[in-house]
């Protein structure tokens, strides 16, 4: 009986601090990624506000619309991608903005945000690609095979997967 009591006490004194340490480690990682996402969204909002005459902001279910009736930027806050984009190992970010003129989507602008001490706008790429992930310095995207003016532009089978890498300030297709 004494052995069982000592075993239970030993387990409680070892497992509790170990569990607490694991929780603190993982919560620290999550907050860093969360801060990176928030910084990326803040830079995207500033970019959008700087490119419209009147920066009205509307929020609808995880999407933010910045602009007025003549030009608007749509930011899907759930689609902020983080990971190493350039040659260092620091996590960077990519935010896609759908640009509307009047009632029509006219282009997608992808903000490549590089961490160089702090997160900053490195480059804007205009492309109809849909970013799916960032892994090991590679941006994985779905690219339409039809132009935006085609009725088949949104056709699911009219898309190809491509890998891109940031080289010399340009996105280069590597697959």
1 within some domain: no
Between 5 and 48, the higher pLDDT residue = 48
Instruction: Find the domain containing 117 and state its range.
Output: 9-173
With 0.75 as the threshold, say if the pTM is over it.
Answer: yes
User: Is residue 142 over pLDDT 90?
Assistant: yes
Domain total in the chain: 1
2 within some domain: no
User: Is residue 9 over pLDDT 90?
Assistant: no
Q: What's the CA gap between 77 and 135, in Å, rounded?
A: 20
164 within some domain: yes
pLDDT, tens digit, for every residue of 23-68?
433 444 445 668 999 999 999 999 999 999 988 999 999 999 999 9
The 8-class DSSP code of residue 88 comes to S
CA dist 42 → 69, 70, 79, 112 (Å) = 22, 23, 14, 13
In this structure, of 16-20, 122-126, 166-170, the range with the lowest mean pLDDT score is 16-20
Say how many CA atoms lie within 13 Å of 79 toward its Cβ.
16
CA pseudo-torsion sign 85, 121, 96, 32: positive
């Amino acid at each position: 009986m004494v052995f069982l009591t000592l075993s239970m006490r030993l387990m409680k004194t070892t497992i509790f601090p170990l569990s607490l340490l694991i929780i603190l480690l993982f919560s620290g990682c999550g907050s860093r990624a969360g801060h990176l996402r928030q910084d990326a969204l803040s830079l995207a909002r500033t970019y959008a506000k700087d490119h419209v005459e009147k920066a009205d902001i509307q929020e609808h279910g995880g999407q933010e619309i910045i602009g007025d009736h003549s030009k608007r930027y749509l930011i899907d806050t759930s689609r902020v991608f983080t990971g190493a984009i350039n040659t260092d190992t620091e996590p960077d970010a990519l935010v896609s903005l759908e640009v509307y003129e009047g009632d029509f989507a006219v282009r997608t602008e992808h903000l490549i945000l590089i961490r160089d001490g702090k997160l900053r706008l490195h480059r804007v790429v205009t492309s109809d690609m849909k970013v799916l992930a960032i892994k090991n310095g590679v941006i994985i995207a779905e690219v339409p095979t039809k132009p935006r003016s085609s009725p088949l532009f949104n056709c699911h089978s009219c898309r190809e997967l491509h890998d891109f890498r940031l080289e010399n300030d340009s996105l280069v297709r590597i697959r």
